[in-house]
Chains A and B, each alone.
Chain A
Amino acid sequence: MTEWLLFWLPLAVVLVSALAGLGIFIAGEHRPILRVSLNLAAALAKVVLVGIMGLLVMAGQVPEFNFALLPGLDFKLRADSLSMLFAVLSAVLWLVTTIYAVAYLERARDRARFFGFFSLCVTATMGIAMAGNLLTFFIFYELLTLTTWPLVVHNGNRESFAGARSYLVHTLGASVFLLVGIIWLYQLTGGQDFIAGGYLGELGLDQYHSLRIVFWLLVIGFGVKAALFPLHAWLPRAMVAPAPVSALLHAVAVVKAGAFGLVRLVEDIYGFELVQTLGLDLPLLLLASFTIVYGSVLALFQTDIKKRLAYSTVSQVSYITLGVAIGGPIAAIGGMVHLVHQGLMKITLFFCAGIFANLLGVKKIDQLDGIGRRLPWTSLCFTIGALGMIGLPPVAGFVSKWYLGAGAVAVGREWVILVLLASTLLNAAYFLPLIKRIWLNEPARAWPAEIDASRLEVFGLVGATLATTGVAVGVGLFAGHPLSPLSWVTGIVTDYFP
């Protein structure tokens, strides 16, 4: 029984949303109740399945699904503790985002298409989380590109196609580098599983040149989705998508898939020791540092709320890369835990931006004046999310920054503190004016495009936002609790740095 469960569970976790997606397509545009209940049931089922899997992993089991495409080419889904971190995040945020999106798109068209691809997109994310080797990772990574395209073009106007085109050019271009890198690695070592500490350690000195090239090929492949400078240009342009898409893209799906890939690359394929031996850690660290500052500086100049949040993502996601590139256990904890923390805070901010735009038509920063009086709960959530991004305790962002800083000092790279400091100041510079406008400025006479929302709609929108805000504060406040992401990540990192 347990054997059976351990084999099929990873596949079930991935497929449950794919089946939901197909069901949604079949249910179609004209059966909204069936569609929504199918969607919610699948999201709940996914949370439960991921929960069961988490318990199994905690008990020391390794759920693993394996299917040989060809001799030497395995399709493998495996849940290790790092997978679980990402899987839990995706499953929970999918549920919340579904509730939010149902309310958000109440008045929109093409909802069957939207929710169908939304579910498929979560399938891809889950597959990336559980991929046991590079081939499987690549399969889901590309699936993610394809399934997010219809979401980005959802509005069907000229801007959304321009944004989607930029997105495709970047991601498909990157996939070329990724594919070459992956096949090259398969030539060198055969198809091996991800393993803590990497599997390339045994290769001799004569392969180091190839390994360096392959490393950069893969960094380009992952870096585009992770919005690493100079590959980030698609991200702000993809802001034309509806708010729930932006939220999921930024918090979980696309951007995180890239960052997660970089973590896998450094920790599970090469291993940090080898990265250091090859002299690749410093260039990666510099790239991440530059992206952090660059994204924040550009965010300062944006007048559109979503655009400012987008550049903030460019900056914040690189914290994850920064964490694994610094080296040493403490910084690695900071980087990996930011995977979760950034997700929670960013999804909150995008939810709020979506509510401002949907209910009142507020899209520009100078339209925010006095919105705190009109939408107090949403404004409160936005404020908490923004303060968390700046790194104010006890919100989650503080914990990440603390570990990153302490980790940098521990390995003797004190200058990273300056990067963190600069980023914090810039974060404050682009978020605090918003908070001032929200709470202190006088509201304008009329909102740009106020709609008469039903109670249920508002409840769905604000309820989902309050939930993510609560969790974002909770994981910071109870960071010491054995079930918090921080404790979980600390457990993971002890595998990497025994």
Chain B
Amino acid sequence: MVAEALACLVLVPVVAACLALVLPGRWRWLAVAAGLLPLPLAMAWLTGELGREGLITVAVAGFEAPLGIVWRLDGLSAVLVWLNIIIALLVGLHAAAHYPADKLNGFRFWPLWLLLSGAMNALLLSADLFNLFVTLELVTLAAIGLLVVDRKPQAMRAAVRYLLLALLGSLFYLLGVALVYGQTGTLDLYQAAGVLQPDLLGHTALVLMTVGLLVKAAIFPLHGWLPAAHGNAPGPVSAVLSAMVVKVAVYLVWRLWLWLAGDWAIPAGLTMLGLLGALAIVYGSLQALVQQRVKMIVAYSTVAQLGYLMLLFPLLGLVAFQATSYHLLSHGLAKAAMFLAAANLLTRLGTDQLGDLRGADRRMPLDVFTLALAGVSILGLPPSGGFIAKWLMLQTALAQGGWLWVGVILVGGLLAAAYLFRVLAVLCARPVACPELPVSGKADQLTSLVALGLALAALAAGFVPAPVLKLLATAWPLGGAP
């Protein structure tokens, strides 16, 4: 049963993607529904199992590692799979308003959307370094396909840049994987963990793989491709790019450093990664502060927020792990909400230039409200998931006397306040003239409500963190240090 449920997470969306390609017209809706709706059911059942077992591993088709491929579901991947499913469904609902499956642009959009969500699940379940490479490529390619689905010139340019850099990153990663395979004779991450030695080759492999992944994760200073790509993509695609696609790359860096090289004791490397994160927070926030378009501000905010995920390395510990993972989750929800709300503003008002958005709160109150609500979580103010994450991060940083990290976390919050309130102040300003909008249709209301729902979910995460944190704790590999 477990194996079937895991297979369902991966195969159902992928098969549906193929169906969406071949089925005609309205039947495509059916493929889309069949590809996404069973996912939460399967995952709910699997989460129950995981709660009992603590860890689920399945050898695909009965071949054990090192020969075969192993799927592995632990607390961390479970949380990310959940995020992926929620994003695929809710953001998909938003996308349904702009990409009707029976129209041409829907035909372009939905197969890629389904493929992306299936590939993401496969990536999160993979325990095998080469498999991870394949799924990561699939995720990247599907994402780039989605990025250009509207065929806008700016998006095309951004996509080419993203593609080239992502391929470069993949090369680095693959080189590292080859080294690991040469050293250990296995591609299974968890088998290699005990065998790979922290010698020159081992370190080289780790560094190569990490650099490759940091490009895909857009961690400062390798973030160059992100703002243009996330800022110019169609609304739902921006949301999924920021909420999931870059996150899985960070997730893989975590897997490498804490699982593969968990007992290597390389404090300099950990601090280095933490410093990159700190620079990302400061640099991304400052850039967000000077951007002139709402979507670019939100995109640079992603650059900054990804930095917090890197703080896990210097703060290393169970609570820091829970905190950063929870940050990943709540940022995913809040950022998706923000991008969707920004996309609604862009679609209905025809622009997202800050200067032209004065008085938008009168015309589109719900979307402005969503931006503000999601902002609460991004700022790390209570009550929100972002606040819980920030509280826990500060708690470990203070307990370790890491004043640098305390400072970075707090300054990041203040800078986030600066760039978000800059947007809100313009949106609430009184315009010189304020032409009435055409009455909003059903589709417009739906898109606004979806964005609001995601923002509310980010706030709700502030009230019920306990079960998620408990699930995460079962995945922590390095013992119960504070």
At the interface, yes or no: A139 with Cβ under 8 Å from chain B? yes
Interface residues of A in 122-147 (CB under 8 A from B): 138-139, 142-143, 145-146
A-B contact count (CB 8 A): 71
Min CB gap B341→A, angstroms = 16
B376 to chain A, nearest CB (A): 7
Contacts of A454 in B (CB 8 A): none
The CA-CA distance from A414 to B369 in the complex, in Å, is 53
Known interface pairs A138-B382, A187-B395. Does A150 touch B417 (Cβ–Cβ under 8 Å)?
no
Whether the pair B417, A184 counts as a contact (CB closer than 8 A) is: no
B463 at the interface (CB under 8 A from A): yes
Measured CA separation A71–B414 after assembly (Å): 28
Taking CB atoms, residues of chain B closer than 8 Å to A149 are: 421
Q: Report the separation of the CA atoms of residues A477 and B466 in the bound assembly, to the nearest whole angstrom.
A: 52
CB pair B410–A179 under 8 Å, yes or no, is yes
Q: Is the CB of A143 within 8 A of B382?
A: yes
Q: Select A183's contact among B376, B398, B414, B430, beta carbons within 8 Å.
A: B398
Interchain nearest-CB distance for B289 vs A (Å): 13
Chain A: minimal CB distance from B364 (Å): 13
- Give 1 or 0 for each of A168-196: 1 = CB within 8 Å of chain B CB: 10001101100110011011000000000
For B, the interface residue count at a CB cutoff of 8 angstroms equals 31
Q: Which of A153-161, A265-273, A399-407 contacts B (4 or more CB under 8 A)?
A: A153-161
Residue of B nearest to A156 (CB): B430
Is B42 part of the binding interface, using a Cβ–Cβ cutoff of 8 Å?
Answer: no
- When chains A and B are docked, how far (Å) is the Cα of A176 from the Cα of B430? 31
* A177: nearest chain-B partner, CB-CB: B410
- B391 within 8 Å of A by Cβ? yes
Closest residue of B by beta carbon distance from A175: B381
Q: Is A437 located at the chain interface by the 8 A CB criterion?
A: no
List 16 other contacts, CB 8 Å, given A25-B369, A70-B469, A156-B428: A68-B466, A69-B388, A70-B466, A113-B365, A146-B376, A146-B381, A150-B428, A157-B430, A168-B417, A172-B414, A173-B414, A176-B413, A176-B414, A180-B394, A183-B391, A183-B394
Which chain A residues border B98 with CB–CB below 8 Å? none
Of all chain B residues, the one with the shortest Cβ separation from A68 is: B466
For residue A136, which residue of chain B has the nearest CB?
A: B382
B252 to chain A, nearest CB (A): 28
8 Å CB interface, B452-477 against A: 462-463, 465-466, 469
Q: Judge if A165 is at the interface, Cβ distance under 8 Å.
A: yes
Q: Interface code A323-358, partner B: CB below 8 Å = 1, 0 otherwise?
A: 000000000000000000000000000000000000
21 contacting pairs across A/B (C-beta < 8 A): A25-B365, A69-B388, A69-B463, A69-B465, A70-B388, A70-B465, A71-B466, A138-B382, A139-B382, A143-B383, A157-B430, A161-B425, A161-B429, A164-B425, A165-B425, A180-B394, A180-B410, A183-B395, A183-B398, A187-B395, A187-B398
Tell which of A139, A145, A155, A176 touches B383, judged by Cβ atoms closer than 8 Å: A139
Q: Does A110 contact B (CB under 8 A)?
A: yes
How long is the Cα–Cα vector from A497 to B157 in the complex, in angstroms?
Answer: 72
Chain B interface helix/strand/loop/mixed:
helix
Count A-side interface residues using an 8 Å CB cutoff.
36
Q: Which chain B residue has the least Cβ–Cβ distance from A71?
A: B466
- Alpha-carbon distance A146/B425, docked complex (angstroms): 13
Tell me whether A69 and B430 are in contact (CB under 8 A): no
- A residues with a Cβ closer than 8 A to B are 25, 67-71, 73, 75, 110, 113, 138-139, 142-143, 145-146, 149-150, 153, 155-157, 161, 164-165, 168, 172-173, 175-176, 179-180, 183-184, 186-187
CB distance from A70 to the nearest CB of B (A): 6
On B, residues with C-beta under 8 Å from A are 359, 361-362, 365, 369, 376, 381-383, 387-388, 391, 394-395, 398-399, 406, 410, 413-414, 417, 421, 425, 428-430, 462-463, 465-466, 469
Chain B: minimal CB distance from A126 (Å): 15
Q: How far is the CA of A113 from the CA of B391 in the complex (A)?
A: 31
Q: A138-B382, A164-B425, A187-B395 in contact; A172/B417 too (CB < 8 A)?
A: yes
A185 CB, min distance to chain B CBs, angstroms: 11
For the complex, what is the distance from the CA of A176 to the CA of B406, rounded to whole Å? 10
A164 to B426, CA, bound (A): 12
Minimum CB–CB distance for A117 against chain B, Å: 11
CA distance A146 to B383 in the complex (A): 11
CA distance A416 to B313 in the complex (A): 53
Distance from B462 Cβ to chain A, minimum over Cβ atoms (Å): 8
- The residue among A113, A149, A179 with the most chain B CB atoms within 10 A of its own CB is A179
By the criterion CB–CB under 8 Å, are A156 and B417 in contact?
Answer: no
Going nearest first, the 9 A-B pairs with the smallest beta carbon separation are A156-B430, A139-B382, A176-B410, A142-B381, A172-B417, A183-B394, A161-B425, A183-B395, A142-B382
Q: List, in ascending order, chain B residues with CB within 8 A of A73's CB.
A: 391
Chain B min CB distance to A136 (Å)? 9
In the complex, what distance in Å separates the CA atom of A153 from the CA atom of B413?
22
Given A180-B398, A187-B395, decide whether A69 and B428 contact each other with a Cβ distance below 8 A: no
A264 to chain B, nearest CB (A): 17
Find the A residue at minimum CB distance from B380: A179
Closest to B395 in A: A183
Q: Across the interface, name the chain B residue whose C-beta is closest to A173.
A: B414
What's the minimum C-beta distance from A75 to chain B, rounded to whole angstroms? 8
Residues of A within 8 A of B399 (CB): 187
Q: Which residues of A contact B387 (CB under 8 A)?
A: 139
Residues from chain B with Cβ under 8 Å of A110 in the complex? 362
In the bound assembly, the distance between CA atoms of A105 and B359 in angstroms comes to 19
Q: How far is the CA of A145 from the CA of B383 in the complex (A)?
A: 13
Interchain CA distance A168-B425 in the complex, whole Å: 12
A82 to B161, CA, bound (A): 62
Q: Hey, which chain B residues are within 8 Å of A179, CB to CB?
A: 391, 394, 410
- Provide the bound-state CA to CA distance between A168 and B381, in Å: 13
Residue of A67, A113, A161, A176 touching B361 (CB-CB under 8 A): A113
A176–B428 alpha-carbon span in the complex (Å) = 26
Nearest-neighbour CB distance to chain A for B463, whole angstroms, equals 7
Instruction: Give the one of A110, A146, A149 with max B CB within 10 A.
Output: A146
Closest to A168 in B: B421
Give CA–CA (A186, B396) in the complex, Å: 12
> B365: which A residues are within 8 A, CB to CB?
25, 113
Shortest Cβ distance from residue A282 to the other chain B in the assembled complex, whole angstroms = 29
Which chain B residue shows the least CB distance to A179?
Answer: B394
Instruction: Kindly list chain B residues whose C-beta atoms are within 8 Å of the C-beta of A161.
Output: 425, 429
Contacts of B362 in A (CB 8 A): 110
